[in-house]
Amino acid sequence: MSESLLTVESLVAGYHGSRVIDDVSFSVGPGEGLGVVGANGAGKSTLLRTISGLVAPASGRILLEGRDITRLSPDRIARAGVLHVPEGRRVFSGLTVHENLRTGTIAGAARAGSSADPYDAVLDLFPRLRERLNQQAQTMSGGEQQMLAIARALMGRPSVLLVDEPAMGLAPVVVKRVAEHLRTIREHWGVALVVAEQSANNVDGIVGGHQLLVDGRLREVDSGGSDRANLLAAYRAAGAD
């Protein structure tokens, strides 16, 4: 891969002494993507939560443009440019689309060197949200709420976006639309994208083929070999649309 934006080195993390993330290393550059693929409970969310500072790692390092962010608080990691769209699209249900987007501005405004307001660019990317600016989030469809959750994160001007199971609970046609938006964010906005999904099929088009496969313990990306081929075949079968 080219110049690295996010680098994860020998990361070990879990809960109460358990090793959910077991010696994981990878790197993602600007405009590149990584799919984190695995079954329920395999550790995908734990990996994303560790990168965004919500779970403290037992060992290993997380670097952003070469700077060690491993022990920073979640808000400082967000302000540094790593934003997390958690599983279950947690938008503020009682706030309007406009208000939800403005909550996302806060982290971005605090970033050094950021001046341009991304509001219009974000709404250009999600015209459906522009049509619904004054609508309460809770009245929108699951797909629209997922787009709002992604759009809100973009308001924070991420250089790295961590997206946890964006396809969950959505109809296949909506999954496709969300995937197209994420690919645009990676390819045209130059954001480094890490996307967790249960199905390899759901992330292939978004991330451009780089996958970290999970089977209870995370493995290194592009490790090659028959283990990897077997796992990939299993996940493709599991997620076959």
Comparison of 44 and 181: residue with beta carbon closer to ligand ATP: 44
Taking a C-beta distance cutoff of 8 angstroms, is the pair 212, 220 a contact? Answer: yes
Residues 239, 153: Cα–Cα separation, whole Å: 27
218: region left, alpha or beta (phi > 0 left; psi from -120 to 50 alpha) = beta
Comparison of 54 and 95: residue with beta carbon closer to ligand ATP: 54
**Which residue do the tokens 């081929």 mark?**
229
If one asks whether residue 215 binds ligand ATP (CB under 6 A), the answer comes out as no
**Which residue do the tokens 């090659």 mark?**
224
Site size for ligand ATP, by CB under 6 A?
12
Kindly identify the residues of this chain, within the stretch 103-132, that bind ligand ATP according to CB under 6 A: none
Shortest CB 96 distance to ligand ATP, Å = 29
SS3 3: coil
Residues 29, 192: Cα–Cα separation, whole Å: 6
Kindly identify the residues of this chain, within the stretch 1-30, that bind ligand ATP according to CB under 6 A: 15, 20
Shortest CB 40 distance to ligand ATP, Å = 4
Residue spans of alpha helices (H) in 139-213: 142-154, 172-187, 200-207
Comparison of 46 and 159: residue with beta carbon closer to ligand ATP: 46
Is the torsion defined by CA of 170, 235, 150, 127 positive or negative?
Answer: negative
Comparison of 43 and 143: residue with beta carbon closer to ligand ATP: 43
Shortest CB 172 distance to ligand ATP, Å = 19
Kindly identify the residues of this chain, within the stretch 151-210, that bind ligand ATP according to CB under 6 A: 198
Kindly identify the residues of this chain, within the stretch 40-79, that bind ligand ATP according to CB under 6 A: 40-46
Q: What is the number of other CB atoms lying within 10 angstroms of the CB of residue 71?
A: 12
Where do contacts with ligand ATP occur on this chain (CB under 6 A)? 15, 20, 38, 40-46, 87, 198
